[in-house]
């Protein structure tokens, strides 16, 4: 059980708060590269700051204050030019570095005053990697955006999925080090929802947690498994400070503010050997709804929606002064302790865990990965269709099991990549 003060320190993300300062030492994924290609401006709220992300016609990415420093118009209604974002109210032009490039009437009335050199807009660094756009809100020098090992894999179909979840980010991240929930929230609840009778899925017999350079691993033994199984010998990762990595996918819990979280999923599906070489020209992205419009209740399947139901159910900010923690929460306790220590060290000027600054190391950052050989080398179609090595399910998935609302064109592109028959009508064939 935590004190109110500890609960506040774990959950507040504003600038100047211990956790807010810790989080500002890391790059946060905030959009898809393809998203800005579709529409060059995007309003973004990140760690309580209202911003606008844009891509100008020279390809520069900018992340600037949502409000124009002139008279505070909303710059997400501005337009991009060859260089910079122009305010729609009086035409001041802002560069991604924060410089003001033009103030049309001021330059006509008082060219000698060079007023534009005296105003700046708040501007943050943006980088593209793995089909995502990453933002850094911390002090210079900015670290490197980590090149996690799966970002270097080839012959895979990648998709990026966003969901907005109306609760604090930290209760979502606690889920990244909670192996036992899988048995209940996913396996047994799905059975109950499907009316599957009294049978239960295999129970957890043992769990283990280890800290490593980039976070913690969690390991488990389920009924019917042994200490030789990779779920025990390798495990899965709670990545520092706000990510879950399962081997085939990442889930970042990006704080929008104290009361809202942007879930950013990055999913890799290896194509069967028969479909190689496979090259993806554009990584698709989509937004997944979390509420059923008809019933006004949370969507209760698939897998990640079940997680969302648990997190929002804990309240906007989980009240950790009212908990009763047990042995299954050992990982959660470890992580809370470690991250609070890290946040305090940042307040004293220290560098927190796992910040990437070494370009050599960052060519490819290896992580614990169950079934690495399959992701790297793939396997034949028959093997892929029958082997079970992932959570959830088979190596070759027919459908997307994590979130609801996958657009038909993404589903069709996936099936083409995998060499699966295109069931259903895809009106937007690649030729049209």
Residues in the site for ligand FES, rule: CB under 6 A? 68, 70-71, 73, 87, 89-92
Which span (60-68, 291-299, 300-308, 343-351) binds Fe ion, by CB under 5 A?
300-308
Pick from 60, 143, 142: nearest CA to 101:
60
Q: At 350, is the secondary structure helix, strand, or coil?
A: coil
Give the nearer residue to ligand FES in terms of CB position, either 100 or 343. 100
Phi first, then psi: what are they for 47, rounded to 5°? 50, 40
CA neighbor of 27 nearest in space, from 140, 130, 146, 149: 146
- Reading the block at residue 348, the tokens are 């004293």
User: Shortest approach of ligand FES to residue 52 CB, angstroms?
Assistant: 12
Cβ–Cβ < 8 Å for 288, 162: yes
307 binding partner (options ligand FES, Fe ion, none; Cβ < 5 to 8 Å by kind): Fe ion
Q: Is residue 183 involved in binding Fe ion (CB under 5 A)? A: no
- The alpha carbon of residue 193 and the mean position of all alpha carbons in its chain are separated, in whole angstroms, by 28
**How does strand 93-94 pair with strand 100-102?**
antiparallel
Q: Which does 99 bind (CB under 5 to 8 A by kind): Fe ion, ligand FES, none?
A: none
**Shortest distance, position 93 Cβ to ligand FES, whole Å:** 9
The residue among 314, 317, 181 whose CA lies nearest residue 244 is: 181
Number of C-beta neighbours around residue 189 at 10 A: 18
Binding partner selected for residue 87 from Fe ion, ligand FES, none, CB under the kind-specific 5 to 8 Å limit? ligand FES
Q: Please choose, from the candidates 356, 264, 286, the residue with its C-alpha nearest in 3D space to the C-alpha of residue 27.
A: 356
Shorter beta-carbon distance to ligand FES: residue 103 or 173 = 103
- Tell me whether residue 72 or residue 337 sits nearer to ligand FES (CB atom): 72
Please, what is the minimum distance in Å from the beta carbon of residue 98 to ligand FES? 15
Comparison of 73 and 128: residue with beta carbon closer to ligand FES: 73
Cis check for the bond before 241: say yes or no (omega within 30 of 0): yes
Would you call the peptide bond into 95 cis, given omega within 30 degrees of 0 as the criterion? no
User: From the list Fe ion, ligand FES, none, which binds 165 (C-beta under 5 to 8 Å, kind-based)?
Assistant: none
Q: In what order do the strands lie in the sheet with 215-222?
A: 204-212, 215-222, 236-239, 243-245, 249-257, 260-270, 156-165, 285-287
Show the binding pattern over residues 265-294: x = contacts Fe ion (CB under 5 A), - = does not: ------------------------------
| CB 71 to ligand FES: min, Å | 4
Q: Which of residues 51 and 87 has its CB atom nearest to ligand FES in the complex?
A: 87
Between residues 73 and 185, which has the closer beta carbon with respect to ligand FES? 73
Does residue 307 bind Fe ion (CB under 5 A)? yes
Which of 105-113, 125-133, 213-221, 299-307 is the region at the interface with Fe ion (rule: CB under 5 A)?
299-307
249 contacts: CB under 8 Å, gap ≥ 6: 265, 266, 267, 268, 402
Nearer residue to ligand FES within complex by CB, 74 or 229: 74
418 contact choice in ligand FES, Fe ion, none (CB below 5 to 8 Å, kind-dependent):
none
Tell me if 21 contacts Fe ion by CB under 5 A: no
What are the angstrom distances between the C-alpha of 375 and each of 156, 242, 274, 370?
A: 8, 24, 15, 9
Report the nearest approach of ligand FES to the CB of residue 102 (Å).
10
Q: How many chain residues bind Fe ion (CB under 5 A)?
A: 1
Q: Which does 71 bind (CB under 5 to 8 A by kind): ligand FES, Fe ion, none?
A: ligand FES
Least Å from the CB of residue 117 to ligand FES: 16
* Nearest distance from C-beta of residue 123 to ligand FES, angstroms: 15
What is the DSSP secondary-structure string of 194-259? TT-TT--PPPEEEEEEEEETTEEEEEEEETT--TTSHHHHT-EEEETTTEEE-SSEEEEEEEEETT
Nearer to ligand FES, 87 or 290 (CB): 87
Per-position DSSP letters for 93-148, written without gaps between them: EE-TTSBEEE-HHHHHH-GGG-GGGG-B--EEEEEEETTEEEEE-SPSSP-PPP-B
Kindly tell me which of 89 and 184 has the beta carbon lying closer to ligand FES: 89
In the complex, least distance from residue 125 CB atom to ligand FES, rounded to whole angstroms: 23
- Least Å distance, CB 91 to ligand FES, is 6
Rounded CA gap, 168 and 48, in Å? 12
Which residues lie near Fe ion (CB under 5 A)?
307
């Amino acid at each position: 059980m935590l004190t109110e003060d500890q609960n506040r320190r774990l959950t507040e993300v504003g600038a100047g708060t211990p956790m807010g300062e810790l989080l500002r030492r890391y790059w946060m994924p905030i959009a898809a590269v393809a998203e800005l290609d579709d529409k060059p401006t995007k309003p973004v709220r990140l760690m309580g700051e209202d911003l606008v992300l844009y891509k100008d016609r020279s390809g520069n990415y900018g992340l600037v204050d949502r409000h124009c420093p002139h008279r505070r118009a909303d710059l997400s209604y501005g337009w991009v030019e060859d260089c910079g974002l122009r305010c729609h109210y009086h035409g001041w032009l802002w560069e991604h570095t924060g410089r003001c490039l033009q103030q049309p009437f001021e330059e006509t009335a008082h060219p000698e005053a060079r007023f534009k050199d005296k105003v700046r807009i708040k501007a943050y660094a943006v980088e593209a990697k793995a089909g995502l756009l990453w933002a850094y809100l911390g002090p210079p020098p900015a670290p490197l955006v980590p090149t996690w090992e799966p970002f270097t894999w080839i012959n895979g179909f990648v998709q990026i999925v966003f969901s907005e979840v109306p609760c604090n980010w930290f209760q979502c991240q606690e889920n990244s080090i909670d192996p036992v929930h899988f048995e209940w929230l996913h396996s047994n609840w799905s059975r109950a929802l499907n009316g599957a009778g009294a049978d239960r899925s295999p129970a957890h017999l043992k769990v283990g947690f280890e800290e490593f350079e980039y976070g913690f691993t969690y390991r488990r033994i389920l009924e019917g498994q042994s200490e030789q199984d990779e779920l025990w010998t390798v495990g899965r990762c709670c990545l520092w400070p706000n990510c879950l990595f399962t081997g085939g996918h990442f889930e970042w819990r990006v704080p929008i503010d104290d009361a809202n979280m942007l879930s950013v999923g990055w999913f890799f599906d290896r194509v069967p050997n028969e479909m190689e070489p496979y090259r993806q020209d554009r990584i698709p992205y989509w937004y997944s709804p979390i509420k059923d419009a008809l019933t006004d209740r949370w969507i209760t399947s698939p897998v990640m929606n079940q997680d969302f139901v648990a997190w929002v159910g804990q309240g906007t900010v989980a009240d950790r002064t009212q908990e009763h923690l047990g042995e299954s929460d050992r990982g959660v306790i470890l992580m809370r302790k470690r991250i609070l220590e890290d946040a305090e060290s940042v307040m004293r000027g220290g560098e927190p865990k796992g910040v990437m600054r070494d370009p050599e190391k960052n060519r490819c950052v290896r992580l614990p990965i169950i079934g690495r050989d399959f992701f790297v080398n793939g396997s034949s179609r028959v093997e892929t269709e029958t082997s079970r090595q992932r959570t959830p399910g088979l190596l070759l998935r027919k459908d997307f099991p994590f979130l609801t609302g996958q657009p038909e064109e993404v589903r069709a592109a996936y099936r083409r990549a995998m060499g699966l028959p295109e069931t259903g009508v895809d009106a937007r064939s690649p030729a049209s």
